[in-house]
Structure 1
Amino acid sequence: MIDVLVAGGGPAGLAAAIHAALAGLEAVVVEPRAAPVDKACGEGLMPSGVAALRALGVEATGHELRGIRYVDGTTRAEASFRDNNGLGIRRTTLHSALHQRALDLGVRMLPGKVGEVRQSTDTVTAAGTTARWLIAADGLHSPVRRSLGLELPNRPHGRYGLRRHYRVEPWTDFVEVHWSRHGEAYVTPVGNDLVGVAVLSRSRRGYDDHLAAFPALTASLHGSAATEVRGAGPLRQRVRRRTAGRVLLVGDAAGYLDALTGEGIALALATAGAAIRCLATGRPDKYEHTWARLTRRHRLLTGALLAASRRPGTARLIVPAASRMQPLFSAAVHALQ
């Protein structure tokens, strides 16, 4: 019998498997898609996420990021990261690096879907495999989470994200967040000649229609589109709790608020590591509290920004306020990094 079965081979699942292997636990990852897997993602890693990758023994290449910049017309507010840089990295590049590191450590990859989850006092069985523990890292709309009755109903008018890349030389080494009355556009340099642009909004429209709300940004995207549009949503996923018997939820499967502050990957890596540490030390009961502590700043700051951006009138005040209160904006960025 193996120690840890991981449902989902994205960044959170692979990080959990790598942490397990480094802790001397046998891990198997169940994932139906062949590597590398692409998905709609802002592709910006905060400095804490870069440090988490290095702790896993993963060295991934991308475009160094110096900080965060908010833009609304001619009004700007920016804050540099305090100690270390972040990283703009293609989702496929990140996935390949994590996947290879897991293989190098002896993690087995099992093609397929988890399906039904059956538990006993000291085992959990899924995908034809019995393990001591199951890590559910199967994404925003986690089938494992749903099957265990851990979901709460979503509220109406959820936010959605769309992403496309452009073949253009980056004009900045900051992540730029462009604000409009009805949403945001996130610009992340991910290579010497490649920029990712993700749009987030409550409005269900096509990508080009969303981008038209940012004419200054559109003028900078003079290169050709390099990838197809990918989408995700609704983004907010409410969860009753992060554990159910011998199952622990990590990454997006553990609940998701919004991509507004760009911490998704960093939090996925952090919660994956926390879950495995709780199992390795024989304290799975500590995971819920640890998850809450790790995500508290993100939930508070992201929730405050979402509340302010919910009404078009107040949304237009965010960047001017950040520009006038630069120390406060810098403190918020430093708290999230």
Structure 2
Amino acid sequence: MSVRRIDLLVAGGGPAGLVTALHAARAGLDVEVWEPRPGAVDKACGEGLMPGALAGLLELGVDPSGHDFRGIRYVSGPRAASADFRHGSGRGIRRTVLHDALTRAVLAAGARVEQRTVGAVRQDDEEVRTDHVRARYLIAADGLHSPVRRALGLDRPTTRHPRFGLRQHFAVAPWSPYVEVHWAPAVEAYVTPVAPDLVGVAVLSSAKASYDARLDALPGLRDRLGCAEPASVVRGAGPLRQEASRRVAGRVLLVGDAGGYVDALTGEGLALAFAQARAAVGALVVDDPERYERDWVRLTRRYRWLTGALLTGTRSRAARRAIVPAARVLPWVFDGAVNSLARPVGH
């Protein structure tokens, strides 16, 4: 088989990889995306795009259908606290719908998407080699448990307080114009409206309990769902916290969850992935991959500090019980935190 030479190979065809390919193709690079899974790639996630993430998507000309929401509501038993976004709405978008919209945009931009797995990676000062492809650069956007990150020896062990997520959809009309976060002593659930007749419910916990067992810890949410029929299979992810020693190894760059992830607590995953994709392609266009390492630190600083602090602060049951009462007593603090997270990454 003859050797093919391209500018950029992207490992992973989820949102991070597709947005990377879209930026690269529009910058004039010859780019391919390799994704081993067929069809629209689904995963366990909250599916809510904060206003900053949605704005970034719309700037790319990608406007997937979904269900808009106006803010975040914390719920604990009969008590609740809400904060509205000050600058635009967020949008709940099924991951498969987002994948299809991004794939169409990537193909229209001239990039290629293939159902293939990136195998052994070798590189020198000029190119990255895998199978019969020679690429000037490789961007790994292959998820939390990135095979490329592991193969390059960039994994950093993380055994402290592992957290796991499970998600399922229910055929019921959204009852709230907010993404609701339901708190219990050992679990929280994120309820995201994704269509006029559909909500997604993602539950996070440090315990490896079943999805139903986690929902049972939130009787108020159980009652709200009532007899609604499940509209998807349960999908899981975790441990959520992943760390990499670096995001750049020669001509290989890590984007999205592959580059490190703290937790879904603040809902910034897609916004971070989109900002990293833009920064990574910008660094490659000027042949300065190390610039991306510096940009990654800057872009993720707020997320890493805030999410780490919230995880530490909500680890005890007493602290978790105090979250909603504190948000009610200090609404300006809650509002400020929500709108800080809602703005575009890097601003």
Output the TM-score relative to the length of structure 1: 0.98
The equivalences for 1:262-277 within 5 A come to: 262-277=267-282
Q: State whether structure 2 residue 298 is matched by structure 1 residue 293.
A: yes
Structure 2 equivalent of residue 29 of structure 1: 33
2:256 aligned partner, one-letter code: G
Structure 2 equivalent of residue 130 of structure 1: 134
Structure 2 equivalent of residue 190 of structure 1: 194
Of stretches 28-37 and 7-16 in structure 1, the one that deviates more from structure 2 is 28-37
Structure 2 equivalent of residue 101 of structure 1: 105
2:240 is aligned, of 235, 244, 247, to: 235
The equivalences for 1:88-167 within 5 A come to: 88-167=92-171
CA distance in 2, matches of 1:128, 1:170: 49
Of stretches 89-98 and 27-36 in structure 1, the one that deviates more from structure 2 is 27-36
* Deviation by residue 1:111-165 (Cα, 9 ceiling, x = unmatched): 2110111001110012431110000000000000001111111214400000000
Q: CA deviation at 1:221?
A: 0.7
1:38 is aligned, of 42, 48, 54, to: 42
Structure 2 equivalent of residue 73 of structure 1: 77
CA distance in 2, matches of 1:291, 1:85: 26
2:309 is aligned, of 304, 307, 316, to: 304
Of stretches 186-195 and 103-112 in structure 1, the one that deviates more from structure 2 is 103-112
1:20 is aligned, of 5, 16, 24, to: 24
**SS of equivalent to 2:42:** coil
Root-mean-square deviation over aligned CA pairs: 1.0
Structure 1 equivalent of residue 222 of structure 2: 218
Output the TM-score relative to the length of structure 2: 0.95
* Deviation by residue 1:239-273 (Cα, 9 ceiling, x = unmatched): 11111000010000010000011111111111111
Structure 2 equivalent of residue 87 of structure 1: 91
CA distance in 1, matches of 2:160, 2:83: 33
CA distance in 2, matches of 1:187, 1:100: 28
Q: Is the 8 A contact 1:113 1:127 kept in 2?
A: no
Instruction: Give ranges in structure 2 of 5+ residues lacking alignment.
Output: 343-347
Q: Is the 8 A contact 1:117 1:126 kept in 2?
A: yes
**SS of equivalent to 1:175:** strand
Q: CA deviation at 1:285?
A: 1.5
Q: Is the 8 A contact 1:35 1:95 kept in 2?
A: no
Runs (4+) of structure 1 exceeding 6 A deviation are none
Instruction: Give ranges in structure 1 of 5+ residues lacking alignment.
Output: none
Q: Say how many residue pairs are matched.
A: 337
CA distance in 2, matches of 1:111, 1:125: 18
Structure 1 equivalent of residue 345 of structure 2: none
1:229 aligned partner, one-letter code: V
Q: Is the 8 A contact 1:308 1:318 kept in 2?
A: no
**SS of equivalent to 2:138:** strand
**SS of equivalent to 2:266:** coil
